[in-house]
């Protein structure tokens, strides 16, 4: 293929189509008409001699050739964008940027009630899309540009990623008021005898399990969930106990019939970081958003 005759704008269309898997949504993302995007897709199919996206039911699925091109094209477009924007001034007040962030419901509860009013004041055109944080760092989604940021707890990051400290947190035990096994308080033996609800919060192994394992101890986990907010309601309505972040525990103790107990063993704080690709350190709009998030974490 002769690159000198290839319309590079078609790559933006292909990137949008692979992100959205829908012609109408891709057109909206690109601020183009639906016929213009359909025409561009037809040109791409002819140039690359591949259907690229095929309809399966109501959805469009990429072909193996399209999936092969997705990562390199997205990386190239991002590098071009960063090179062109380097040294330019970012004006949040007039930005129409869209950012996609992965986090737990707990981090979302802490951050968004304070970040959204801030954005409404400084950057009313900016849009945020939040995805649920999986138990592992979603490295592939960050590299493909499907995610801009991840906010969570990670013990180690691969070299191609960078993390900025957002906030530190401790843990407490929550139980329903009048829990029959906790009338005399909570010590280690009683903690091990209780039936537990575990919120994995984007982790494959929690701090409590790590400490217990080092001591050769095991607690009985009868229910696990990725949802911090639901855990407090379950604990309030049952005899299951949960270990929750202290800020969340105190918040729900003011709303639900819950009692709070300190852990019967010493655990240090854990830290939540804002993680992005190292390559995007020069992405001015993204780094502006990171700065806003970190500033709110310091005051959480």
Cα 65 to Cα 45: distance, rounded to the nearest angstrom:
11
Domain regions of the chain by residue span: 3-85, 92-166+271-298, 171-268
Q: 3-class DSSP state for residue 126?
A: coil
Residue 26 reports pLDDT greater than 90: no
Whether the Cβ atoms of residue 275 and residue 133 lie closer than 8 Å to each other: no
Predicted TM-score of the model (pTM) = 0.69
CATH 3.40.190.10 matches 92-166+271-298: yes
Q: What CATH number should be reported for the domain whose range is 3-85?
A: 1.10.10.10
Predicted local distance difference test score (pLDDT) of residue 71? 83
What is the percent of the chain with per-residue pLDDT over 70, rounded to a whole number?
93
- pLDDT, tens digit, for every residue of 49-99? 899 999 887 778 899 998 888 888 887 887 777 666 655 578 999 999 999
CB-based contacts of 274, cutoff 8 Å, min separation 6: 149, 150, 151, 163, 164, 166, 290, 293, 294, 297
pLDDT of residue 300: 53
Please report, in angstroms and rounded to a whole number, the separation of the first and last CA atoms in the chain: 54
27: CB partners within 8 A, 6+ apart: 33, 34, 36, 37
Q: Which residue has the higher pLDDT, 200 or 189?
A: 189
Cα separation, 208 vs 34, in Å, equals 52
Alpha helices in 145-283 (DSSP H): 188-193, 207-214, 228-236, 246-253
Domain 92-166+271-298 in the same topology as domain 3-85: no
* Cβ-contact 97, 285 below 8 angstroms: yes
**Is residue 145 within 8 Å of 70, Cβ to Cβ?**
no
pLDDT for 217 equals: 95
Model confidence at 27, in pLDDT bands (50, 70, 90)? Answer: confident
Percent of the chain with pLDDT over 90: 50
Over 70: is that where the pLDDT of 202 sits?
Answer: no
Give the pLDDT confidence of 119-146 residue by residue, as tens digits.
999 999 999 999 998 878 898 888 888 8
CA distances in angstroms from 41 to 45, 77, 104, 267, listed in the order given: 6, 18, 36, 55
Q: Which of 53, 68, 45 is nearest to 17 (CA)?
A: 53
Per-residue pLDDT, 167: 92
What is the chain's mean pLDDT, rounded? 88
Is the model's pLDDT at 203 over the cut of 70?
Answer: no
Place of tokens 């982790």: 203
pLDDT digits (tens, 9 = 90+) for 207-262: 899 999 999 999 999 999 988 889 999 999 999 999 999 999 999 999 999 999 99
CATH of span 171-268: 3.40.190.10
Judge whether 105 and 154 are in contact, CB under 8 Å.
no
């Amino acid at each position: 293929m002769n690159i000198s005759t290839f319309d590079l704008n078609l790559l933006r269309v292909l990137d949008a189509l692979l992100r959205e898997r829908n012609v109408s949504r891709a057109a909206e993302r690109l601020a183009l008409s639906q016929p213009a995007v359909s025409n561009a897709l037809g040109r791409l199919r002819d140039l690359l001699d591949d259907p690229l996206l095929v309809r399966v039911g109501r959805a469009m699925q990429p072909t193996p050739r399209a999936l092969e091109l997705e990562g390199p094209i997205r990386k190239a477009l991002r590098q071009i964008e960063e090179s062109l924007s380097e040294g330019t001034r970012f004006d949040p007040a007039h930005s129409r940027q869209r950012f996609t962030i992965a986090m737990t419901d707990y981090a979302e509860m802490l951050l968004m009630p304070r970040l959204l009013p801030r954005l409404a004041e400084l950057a009313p055109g900016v849009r945020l899309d939040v995805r649920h944080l999986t138990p592992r760092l979603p490295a592939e989604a960050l590299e493909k540009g499907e995610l801009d940021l991840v906010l969570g707890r990670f013990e180690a990051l691969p070299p191609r990623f960078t993390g900025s400290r957002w906030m530190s947190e401790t843990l407490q035990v929550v139980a329903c008021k009048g829990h029959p096994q906790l009338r005399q308080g909570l010590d280690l033996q009683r903690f091990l005898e209780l039936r537990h609800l575990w919120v994995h919060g984007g982790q494959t192994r929690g701090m409590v399990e790590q400490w217990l394992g080092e001591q050769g101890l095991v607690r009985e986990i009868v229910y696990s969930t990725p949802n911090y907010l639901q855990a407090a309601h379950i604990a309030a309505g049952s005899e299951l106990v949960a270990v929750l972040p202290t800020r969340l525990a105190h918040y729900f103790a003011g709303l639900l019939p819950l009692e709070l107990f300190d852990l019967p063993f010493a655990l240090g704080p854990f830290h939540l970081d804002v993680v992005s690709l190292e390559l995007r350190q020069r992405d001015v709009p993204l780094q502006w958003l990171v700065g806003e998030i970190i500033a709110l974490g310091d005051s959480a």
